[in-house]
Structure 1
Amino acid sequence: MSAPDVSGPGATPHARLAGPVGVPGEESVAGGTARWLRWGQHALLAALAAICLTRAVAAGAHPAAEVGALLVFVAWYLVGIPLARRGVGGAAWFLVLSLLWGVLVLVSPENVWLAFPLWLLAGHLLPLVGGVLVSVLILVVVVAEPVRQVGGTSFAAVIGPLIGMVVALGISRAQMALVRDGIERQRLITSLYSAQEETAALTDELARLQRAAGATSERTRLSRDIHDGIAQGFSSILLLARAARAEEDTTRVRELLAHLETSAAEGLEESRRVVGALAPADLDEGGLVAALHRVTERFEAESGVTARIVTTGSVPPVPTTTEVALLRYVQGALANVRTHARAESVVVSLDGSTESIRVDVVDDGQGFDTTDWTTRTPRSPGDGGYGLRATRTRLRELGGGLALESAPGEGTVVSAWLPVHDHGADGDSR
């Protein structure tokens, strides 16, 4: 039986750990074991009270006095339950309970049986030294009662209560250690979760800063290339056009027009060079199929997830913009598998025809609920589903689309498709 929780002024650290209804939070930190111990101790007191009542009346004690004193004792014990919830008055409550027990012993010596619950309470409520001293005083009363009644005692009448006192103190101290260890374990678990959340937040922030730095660096490079190449070419064309318009000499006009043609050709070549620099490096050799093989092999090596490429049909030559869009889609899908899916394997299937090209990424991971991914608008790239929505937008701009199938525990299938345009009209196809 636990004792009232003492957490008010003057309470010892030891006394704050347990009570008749347990310490606050004990249900979560000590679990079912502490709960069953507590109810077992309540049942023990009830059983001992019934035994004391029966034996006392049978031994000749006044029934009214025995019943009245026992009811007061039990009622005061029950008062400890709300006191424990409020965290007040544990030590004072125990002293009053001990005095009531003393009155019971005066009514009938059979009531010494209730000393065992008092020893349990002393072990819970008091520090080790104080609990032992109080328990010894209770033991003295138990041993001295036969002397008061019959003028003598026996070895069994002394050694039995002594063993009971030691056992009771041991049980109470063990339960205290159980609760204390549970509290410490819960604190460590909470600290671990907090550290994990902080690490995840720092990782997200680092990734965001890296993306921002990469975007800034790329914008700086592009602006420099455009300024030094294309913009300067347009400036030259503009000056030549103005000079040709003001020139009256036909021969000179033809020369200026020739210069205009040359400058325009150089500007076109420069613009193609800048656009070509935007293409992923994986597309430098072998086109889309080879790029997907390299990306998938790199993903498998870095993540440990089994990955393979399945190609059906014939993959026709497609514009660079189509290759870039599909490669970026696969890279994003594999990144999602690596980050979220907890998958063991992933298959990238490529199906081409003269009309369209389709790429599916299928994993056997944990899946997720896709109810609102197509309708909810993300507020930032860190918001869930941003990558999928950005990919879908890019594909739609090229005349294609994106489909997603998933459910918790059933893996995920992401499908992207694009039409195969006449690459001759694009001007930059593979």
Structure 2
Amino acid sequence: MDRTGTSRWLRLGQHALLGVLALVCGLRAITDGAHPLAELTALAAFIGWYAAGPRLAGKGGGGTVWFVGLTLLWAVLVLVSPENVWLAFSLWLLAGHVLPLLPAVIVSLTVFVVVALEPVRATGEASFAAIIGPFIGMVVALGVAKAQQALVRDGIERQRLITSLYAAQEESAALTDELARVQRAEGASSERTRLSRDIHDGIAQGFSSILLLARAALSEHDPDRLREILRHVESGAAEGLEESRRVVGALAPADLDEGSLTGAVRRVTERFAQESGVAARVVVTGSLTSLPTTAEVTLLRCVQGALANVRTHADAHQVVVSIDETPDSVRVDVVDDGRGFDTEVWTATAAGSPKDGGYGLRATRARLRELGGGLAVESAPGEGTALSAWIPLSHTAKEYP
């Protein structure tokens, strides 16, 4: 169904043209001596059948039947009076609309023959003007009708494209909303993972240190040593409070605020040695280049987690923390001489509930893998433990603009 305004105005113009032609032909026919009743009756039948066209055209094949009936009524009008031949122009217009091109041309030529021969039947004479004029009118009418059809088709296609465009825009908006929802969900999940890692590697380890110091204080009888332990507890609590604020604000660990990764590792190691009484030292190999904050945070968290495990589980006497830069990676090793453990048993149980232990190493390995690195743990009962974490320099370089 055509909804274009241009086509509607063209149809109204066509109806007006037929009305004017019917009025002129009726008046001229009666003036020329045609029987008024016959003229008016035939003209009314023609106009009535024309008005019934839209309803009949909606049925299968109804348009062709309607047009044939209209042509026959026109032929009756021509028999009533030759003046009615002028209604042929409306027939030519309709032929271009109702019929395919070839049938429309055939029917139009048939009507043209009637129009051209009618003066001969009425007067017995023929003229060039009586032939060329109707012929030009027929060609123009068919051309206008087919052009109007093309205009209507273009309008319908344009309307269809606009509708499709609106539908595509609505679908795109729906997909955008869905994508935003998925991204928000992924962002929330990623943020929860980050917070869980930061809480475990920073705040929880601080609480673990405070807990061990508090237990040591309960069994301590030397007042000077007790005051020293309380100072460590106070310092650890203050650092834990500051760390918790930084985790909420998604900032780097406090130890990284005062310098590079090397300095932060030295401070963490020294604090570990003071609080635990375990001899600890840091060995740096090579001139460590400046790393992105993400890489420094990840490696520092590895050291913090490893030292917390040494304090809690290893019963070690010495710990060595090594920082080594190779041409293609940065590596941090934490080696202790403690009791060690069976790595195969740990691997089998680490996949269980977080309360069973092993979350720290799993979280550390996940952090490193996100940066293209990895984590290796070597240990055996009675032989100490060696933890090695690395990040490729090629990956850290991508984080710089």
TM-score normalised according to structure 2 size: 0.57
**1:250 pairs with one of 221, 236, 256:** 221
Instruction: Flag the 1:276–1:66 CA change in 2: closer, same or farther, 3 A.
Output: same
1:282-338 Cα shifts (integer Å, max 9, x gaps): xxxxxxxxxxxxxxxxxxxxxxxxxxxxxxxxxxxxxxxxxxxxxxxxxxxxxxxxx
Q: Does 1:118 align with 2:91?
A: yes
Deviations 1:169-210 (A, max 9, x none): 111111111111111222222233333333333333333333
Q: How far 1:58 moved relative to its partner?
A: 1.6
Structure 1 equivalent of residue 268 of structure 2: none
Provide the rounded CA distance (Å) in 2 between the counterparts of 1:155 and 1:36.
35
C-alpha separation in 1, matches of 2:110 and 2:230: 114
Counterpart in the other structure of 1:268 = 238
Q: CA RMSD in A?
A: 2.6
1:215: how far off?
2.8
Q: What is the letter of the counterpart of residue 163 of structure 2?
A: T
Structure 1 residues 185 and 278, CA gap change in structure 2 (3 angstroms):
same
Q: Quick check: 1:100 aligned with 2:93?
A: no
Q: Read off the aligned partner of 1:154 and give its amino acid letter.
A: S
Residue 260 of structure 1 deviates from its aligned partner by 4.5
CA distance in 2, matches of 1:229, 1:279: 14
Aligned partner letter, 1:273: E
Give the structure 2 partner of residue 140 of structure 1. 113
Q: Report if aligned partners of 2:195, 2:247 keep a CA contact under 8 Å in 1.
A: no
Kindly indicate whether the alpha-carbon contact (under 8 Å) linking 2:42 and 2:76 is maintained by their aligned counterparts in 1: yes
Q: Is the 8 A contact 2:26 2:39 kept in 1?
A: yes
Task: Look up the equivalent residue of 1:276 and give its one-letter code.
Answer: R
Whether the 8 Å CA contact 2:96–2:104 is kept in 1: the answer is yes
Mapped partners of 2:227, 2:202: distance in 1: 20
> Which residue number corresponds to residue 54 of structure 1?
27
- Read off the aligned partner of 2:179 and give its amino acid letter: L
Please say which of residues 105-114 and 200-209 is displaced more in the overlay: 200-209
CA distance in 1 between partners of 2:56 and 2:11 (Å): 16
Distance 1:199 1:94, change over 3 A: same
CA distance in 2, matches of 1:90, 1:254: 112
Please report the TM-score for the alignment, with normalisation by the length of structure 1.
0.54
What percentage of residue pairs aligned between the two structures are identical? 63
Query: d(CA) in 2 for partners of 1:242 and 1:280?
Result: 32
Kindly provide the amino acid, as one letter, of the partner of residue 171 in structure 2: E
Alpha-carbon distance change, 161 to 264 in structure 1, aligned in 2, over 3 angstroms: same
Residue 52 of structure 1 and its aligned partner are, at CA, apart by 1.3
Q: Which has the larger radius of gyration?
A: 2
- Structure number with the higher helix fraction is 2
Which residue of 153, 156, 159 corresponds with 1:180?
A: 153
Q: Measure how far apart 1:267 and its partner are.
A: 3.7
Aligned amino acid, residue 239 of structure 2 = E
Matched, 1:207 2:180: yes
Contact 2:82 2:118 in 1 (8 A): yes
1:85 and 1:133 map into 2 onto residues whose CA distance is: 23
1:141, distance to aligned residue in structure 2 (A): 1.1
1:237 corresponding residue in structure 2: 210
| SS of residue matched to 2:33 | coil
Q: Per the alignment, do residues 65 and 279 of structure 1 end up closer, same or farther by CA in structure 2, a change over 3 Å counting?
A: same
Mapped pair 1:160 → 2:130: no
Q: Secondary structure at the match of 1:53?
A: helix
Partner of residue 70, structure 1 = 43
SS at match of 2:52: helix
Deviation at 1:168, TM superposition (A): 0.6
Separation in structure 2 between the aligned mates of residue 257 and residue 88 of structure 1, nearest angstrom:
107
Contact 1:116-1:165 within 8 A present in 2 as well: yes
**Cα distance 1:67–1:141, how it changes in 2: closer, same or farther (>3 A)?**
same
Partners of 1:222 and 1:257 in 2: how far apart?
Answer: 34
- Whether 1:227 aligns to 2:200 is yes
Distance (whole Å) between structure 2 residues aligned to residue 261 and residue 82 of structure 1: 99
- Distance in 1 (alpha carbons) for counterparts of 2:178 and 2:239: 40
CA contact (8 A) 2:214 2:233 kept: no
Alpha-carbon distance in structure 1 between the residues aligned to 2:208 and 2:174: 48
Change (3 A) 1:139 1:279: same
**Pair 1:222–1:268, CA change in 2 (3 A):** farther
User: Measured at CA, do residues 84 and 255 of structure 1 come closer, stay the same or move farther in structure 2, by a change above 3 Å?
Assistant: farther
CA distance in 2, matches of 1:231, 1:277: 12
Distance 1:226 1:257, change over 3 A: farther
5+ long unaligned stretches in structure 1: 1-23, 282-430
Q: Partner of 1:250: helix, strand, or coil?
A: coil
The residue type paired with residue 232 of structure 2 is T
Q: For the Cα contact (< 8 Å) 1:124–1:176, is it kept in 2? A: yes
Matched with 1:397 is none
3-state SS, counterpart of residue 183 of structure 2: helix
- Matched residue SS, 1:111: helix
How far apart are residue 67 of structure 1 and its match?
0.8
Distance in 2, matches of 1:181 and 1:271, equals 72
Distance 1:256 1:195, change over 3 A: farther
User: Alpha-carbon deviation of 1:122?
Assistant: 0.2
Structure 2 Cα separation of the partners of residues 213 and 76 of structure 1: 69
CA shift for structure 1 position 152: 3.0
Task: Quote how far apart the aligned CAs of 1:277 are.
Answer: 4.9
Following superposition, the deviation at residue 256 of structure 1 comes to 5.0
Amino acid at match of 1:150: T
Asked if 2 retains the 8 angstrom alpha-carbon contact of 1:230 and 1:267, the reply is no
Number of aligned residues: 252
How far residue 62 of structure 1 moved from its aligned partner, in angstroms, is 1.3
Q: Which amino acid is the alignment partner of residue 235 of structure 2?
A: A
